Amino acid sequence: MFTHLSDLTKAIWFYIIAFGLVLSASLLARQLNTDPGLAIMFTPLIAVLFMFFVVTRDGYSKAGWLSLGLHRAGFRSWGLALLAPVCILAFAYGLVWSLGVGHFTWPSKNPIMSMAPTQILMAVLFVLLATMGEEIGWRGYLLPRLLVLGQTRALLLSGLMHGLFHLPLMLLTPFYHGLGNPMIVVPLFLLALTAAGVWYGYLRLTSQSAWPAAVAHTSLNIFAEQFADVTLTASPLALEYLVGESGVLTLFGIVLCVSYLIYRLNRQQPEAAVAPATASAILMNFDQQIR
């Protein structure tokens, strides 16, 4: 339909479609009083497919699919993707335990302990695929098309847009971060998702694959739940503010991590050299690598 849109225009239309989908799903969830969490994770993927096959027709070309970074696994980045969330969460929860806000306890009814290894693997793969529904949109499609704004700006903006995407679910329904004062939780959440977006984006750019970003996102989701399960506290609200997805300590750990990553990335590829890199330039690089 529109085959000559600029990369930035494509990014804007993708976001309008994705945000419209999550807003509609949140309004419907409020009416039905049903948690739409899993369905919402696939709305960025739906927005990409709509762009690919209706708006820009990129889905009918090999270059269009290569731009998503799905054809490479990026295994060299998986170690960082898996371990960084553990380190960040261990730092945050370690402080909570040491300060006495919460205490480490092994839950007697932890569902993971009753699962067979194959069941655990299937559960992890399911979470990874669901998370990939988001990451195909944010780091697979959106980030490369924001690179016209410059590398650091693109990383920060993709993370912020990812965070803003969650606001309809947070503010219109009780199913996501319903605990705590929204005036506190929402700003912390947006800061955390913006910082995490830089980290996921770093993995995307350095590996030229969307998979490490999905692995990191999955790892953070899974280990955040596991650390919460082994933490006993008399004040769940304190944990929400300190170590939840919008927690101050979690945010501090992520910011430390991404500050180093941005410094490292800009030393490897100066901003002036990276700013002109559009999605088209990335596609050319992809084509050279698979020949």
Cα 182 to Cα 144, 162, 222, 240, distances in angstroms: 32, 18, 24, 11
- 42: closest CA among 173, 136, 122? 136
Q: How far apart are the first and last CA of the chain?
A: 30
pLDDT greater at residue 291 or residue 46: 46
- 165: closest CA among 189, 144, 136, 149? 189
Identify the band that residue 49 occupies on the pLDDT scale cut at 50, 70 and 90: very high
Read off the pLDDT of residues 132-147 as tens digits, 9 standing for 90 and up.
Answer: 999 999 999 999 999 9
Are 218 and 139 within 8 A, CB to CB? no
The whole-angstrom separation of Cα 120 and Cα 126 is 10
Residue 278 has pLDDT above 70, yes or no: no
The whole-angstrom separation of Cα 5 and Cα 13 is 10
Quote the pLDDT of residue 212.
95
- Which H or E run includes 22? helix 7-32
Helix (H, G, I), strand (E, B) or coil at 46: helix
Read off the pTM.
Answer: 0.86
Are 205 and 213 within 8 A, CB to CB? no
Quote the pLDDT of residue 168.
94
Read off the pLDDT of residues 74-105 as tens digits, 9 standing for 90 and up.
Answer: 999 999 899 999 999 999 999 999 988 888 88
| Domain residue extents for the chain | 7-290
- Which H or E run includes 178? none
Cα 234 to Cα 1, 75, 103, 227, 237, distances in angstroms: 57, 41, 10, 16, 9
Read off the pLDDT of residues 195-205 as tens digits, 9 standing for 90 and up.
Answer: 999 999 999 99
